[in-house]
Copies of this chain bind each other. A is one copy, B any other.
Amino acid sequence: MSEALFPTAPDEAALERGAVLAPRFGADGLICAIAQHHRTGEVLMVAWMSPQALRLTLDTGEAHYFSRSRGELWRKGETSGQVQRVVEVRVDCDQDAVLLKVDPQGDGGACHVGFRSCFYRVVEDGALREDP
């Protein structure tokens, strides 16, 4: 499936310095994706993308993910209205992670619990404190 939608880098030099987008999906067929607010820089969420999800994200300019729990492709905001307009897409050095700079629509949130970011808790002295 991933072979069909994206090429595989022939060597490390191409992977790390090449101009060809050759994302490396894991054994489960997914790649890690981080959504960061394009203006504030706040990290909003971490999710997973199948080749189709990444393809749709690039083609539509709206973030698509693959839900591991539901086992299905997922257009962010489809039910919540929290559509993520994609301002920029980056890949990391070994192309096994994707960074999206997004402009969150709807109420501006990203988290199903109700917070703006999924990272609303900080670890303090080994315990968690909500600090959205």
Contact = CB atoms under 8 A, between A and B. Distances in A.
Interface of A: 16-21, 32, 34, 36, 40-43, 45-46, 58, 88-93, 97, 99, 111-113, 115, 118-123, 126-130
Contacts of A19: 127-129
Given A113-B16, A113-B17, A123-B21, A92 B45 contact: yes
A9 to B, nearest CB: 10
Contacts of A120: 90, 93
B99 A21 contact: no
B20 A127 contact: yes
A93 B118 contact: yes
A119 B115 CA distance: 26
A121 B91 contact: yes
Contacts of A123: 21, 58, 88-91
A20 B123 CA distance: 9
Contacts of A41: 40-42
Contacts of A46: 32, 34, 92, 97
A34 to B, nearest CB: 6
Given A34-B43, A46-B92, A97-B119, 16 more contacts: A18-B128, A21-B123, A21-B126, A21-B128, A34-B34, A40-B41, A41-B42, A45-B92, A89-B123, A91-B119, A91-B128, A92-B111, A92-B118, A93-B112, A93-B118, A93-B120
